[in-house]
Structure 1
């Protein structure tokens, strides 16, 4: 396999970037974090100003929208509510169950479809027909298919996460340099070793991109399912707040969904970066 790795090293262009040393290198991560935190502060300040001055853009008005100042007491009350652990545990369990199932099925099917044209011709067309169907359209069928609402909501998150993972895995497998595959076969690599030592490492960056996107869509689909079929969870809390006209709680629920989705997607991305040390993004990023 050393010849395979040598060929990959020769074929991969290495971008020449100016070296950053000294104090600039030490403070660059801190400066980026400051910019990111500042962008969030600026967004919240713009939101507060739009609500305070009842900004109206014609078809969009902020006259009835809760402000950040209204949401902070509601968030404080939720953090001290005994219902918060129940809502978080329910949503996290549903997301993780659906996402893990989607990861196993999506990566497995993607590796197979990406390598074999016969499987692509047989399996990909029906999957492409199912892919555009929105998650909300699956809810009535999921309720009929599964004996409990919990399983139906896990199925909705599974459907939401499956297709980004599947398509990114297929793309990653198809993007593997065929010369690497030919070299590995010329060295006598078996079918299983070809997958584990050439195809899977080559497709891993795309796979983890799909996993990160799939985690975000799993949260999106879970909220849709909880609004209709759930009795607890962050999505159910958000919808219940609307029906009870607790508008500040709607903002709190949306913020929790955003933070949980962003955090879980970032975690998947960091795990992917740790497991693919041979891959680094290259490009003219300023």
Structure 2
């Protein structure tokens, strides 16, 4: 009920602001809804959304593939952690968006640049939360697992990773949000398709209704991904 009231209040404020600023600067909710329906019927909005989601899946999957195993190694080995600490701390403060100019030189305009930006942006939250989760598991838990017969791969799959999973899932959730913001920025100038490209294209065409429709789509997809990550974390916690 509160969410519905908040949505209604937002629509009222939006309508009032549109009346003050004019439909060119800020189209009304009705005008945006009508344009969104046209974009959906033509298939354009769906095509760009699926393109962005495909890049997201590849880039985020890459971040998971490297971030979680490396985080486990760093969490379990002081030597590896010390060796990688300096490069990680140097690269971590640099946002994925800041790499777009360099990425254009390396990859050009196309698929590779947005995927690289996604993987880079999501990698550090996943890595650092995995390290923290593994370290929090503690040596006592590992020793207890060995006493109970767990060793080698089983020690990690049955003891270390389950204990670290809440932190890992938190890193996944944070990484999803950061990566989704980064891909839209990368698609502005680094891709010939996707929701970011769509926003930039319709900006040049002065179609504010289309720009806002794409922005709302980005927000809805981002909210859906965050909700999915939260439900996954709750489901895991329920099985603990």
| TM-score (normalised: structure 1) | 0.76
Question: Which residue pairs with 1:22 in the alignment?
Answer: none
25, 33, 40: which is aligned to 1:72? 33
Question: Which residue pairs with 1:40 in the alignment?
Answer: 7
Larger Rg: 1
Output one character per residue of 1:219-238: Cα deviation in whole Å (capped at 9) or x when no partner. 11111111011111111111
1:119 CA displacement = 1.1
CA contact (8 A) 2:187 2:197 kept: yes
1:115 and 2:76 matched: yes
Larger proportion of helix: 2
Distance 2:194 2:148 in 1: 53
CA contact (8 A) 1:99 1:215 kept: yes
Question: Which residue pairs with 2:168 in the alignment?
Answer: 207
Q: Which deviates the most, 78-87 or 153-162?
A: 78-87
49, 53, 57: which is aligned to 2:16? 49
Q: Which has the higher contact order (CA 8 A, sep 6+)?
A: 2
Q: Which ranges of 4 or more aligned residues in structure 1 deviate by more than 4 Å?
A: none
Distance 1:194 1:82 in 2: 49
Distance 1:270 1:221 in 2: 23
CA contact (8 A) 2:67 2:126 kept: yes
Distance 2:170 2:96 in 1: 21
Question: Which residue pairs with 1:252 in the alignment?
Answer: 213
1:193 CA displacement = 2.1
1:248 CA displacement = 1.6
Distance 2:16 2:108 in 1: 48
136, 148, 169: which is aligned to 2:130? 169
Question: Unpaired segments of 5 or more residues in structure 1?
Answer: 1-33, 55-61, 280-286
1:220 and 2:148 matched: no
Q: Secondary structure at the match of 1:149?
A: coil
RMSD: 2.3
Matches within 5 A, 1:105-254: 105-146=66-107, 149-254=110-215
CA contact (8 A) 2:63 2:119 kept: yes
CA contact (8 A) 1:184 1:194 kept: yes
Output one character per residue of 1:75-107: Cα deviation in whole Å (capped at 9) or x when no partner. 112111232332122111111100111111111
| TM-score (normalised: structure 2) | 0.89
Distance 1:127 1:200 in 2: 22
Matches within 5 A, 1:95-110: 95-110=56-71
CA contact (8 A) 1:113 1:124 kept: no
Shift in alpha-carbon separation, 1:147–1:247, aligned structure 2, 3 A: closer
1:268 and 2:223 matched: no
Q: Which deviates the most, 233-242 or 191-200?
A: 191-200
CA contact (8 A) 1:107 1:165 kept: yes
CA contact (8 A) 1:205 1:272 kept: yes
How many residues align? The count is 240
Q: Secondary structure at the match of 2:52?
A: helix
